[in-house]
Chain A
């Protein structure tokens, strides 16, 4: 998928052209977002395969519901919202399943056992540093965590993040500073090494 001729075409224009029947524009959008979305969703799912499934489902929904996209929204906002919702649904489904299996094994209903971070114990990436960074980001408050992910992992613009989270651009930036300040302590060993 993907062609050089689309390099200067905005996401919104690609979407508009796709709505008018240009399938190649859809393929370009998939190319632009597939890896970004995979990394973004992976941070929530902590499982590569499930993350990729969600990315696929996201693009299927983009395809099937292409006429529902209105140009007033950024394509990134629309695509990420779909992906986030799918991830949330999958996570709540799997946490229910985990709770159920724990209950089944022990024969008692101990809801305390269910831990949303249980999967972080397993190494998810080959690189140990990645695991550490990931778990430190994971420990941040939700509102700081998502900003760091969107900016430093997904490389979204401040405006895109603001549109997605429905907060002012200034707030995106102030939260970004705050998130990095928290991570400065959490990652102090690595920050020192960088100097």
Chain B
């Protein structure tokens, strides 16, 4: 008598969209009840599933939770963008204000501001503007602060990109 390969063929052709270990359609059940080969195949599939399910499982080490908490603390500390730059920011603002004050006294001492009648202030706009640029020094400081924040954000983006990979 020839061996029946009905269900085997169906599996190989991926015709069956049911898990034969857990659910058998009634029309197949009728066949299985009468066919020893196919019944044997179903039993084997169940055995295979059982063997795999019974393999030894690993469990995480005892220090897993503790290590995880510690690592999270460290990574959250690195992520805390606002706390560290606050002091840097404060420092830059203070430096900026100091520059304004120093610049103002310097310009006052050159007498440019007090003596517009000398004609140089407006006629030689360049001089005036360069003096103004001196006063504008905090803007430059703001730029470098902006640059710094950009770097921090870039770094954050880089980190996220790595995380998303």
Contacts and interface: CB of A to CB of B under 8 A. Distances in A.
Interface of A: 1, 27, 30, 34-35, 38-39, 42, 48, 51-52, 55-56, 59-61, 63-65, 82, 85, 89, 125-127, 129-130, 133-134, 137, 148, 152-153, 155, 158, 168-171, 173-178, 180-181, 183-184, 187, 190-191, 194-195
Interface stretch (B29-37, B59-67, B115-123): B59-67
A56 B67 contact: yes
Nearest to B63: A52
A56 B64 contact: yes
A38 B14 CA distance: 31
Contacts of A42: 58
B93 to A, nearest CB: 30
Interface residues of B, number: 42
A111 B89 CA distance: 52
Contacts of A176: 19, 21
Interface in B36-54: 41, 43-45, 47-53
A125 to B, nearest CB: 6
Interface of B: 8, 11-12, 14-21, 41, 43-45, 47-53, 55-61, 64-65, 67-68, 71-72, 75-76, 79, 160, 163-165
A148 to B, nearest CB: 7
Contacts of B41: 181, 184
A177 B16 contact: yes
B165 A89 contact: yes
Contacts of A35: 57-60
A102 B100 CA distance: 63
Contacts of A27: 65
A64 B76 contact: yes
B52 A184 contact: no
Residue in B8, B48, B51 whose Cβ sees the most chain A Cβ within 10 Å:
B48
21 contacts: A1-B65, A34-B64, A35-B59, A56-B64, A59-B68, A61-B163, A65-B160, A125-B56, A130-B55, A152-B52, A153-B55, A170-B17, A177-B11, A177-B19, A181-B11, A181-B41, A184-B45, A184-B48, A194-B47, A194-B51, A195-B47
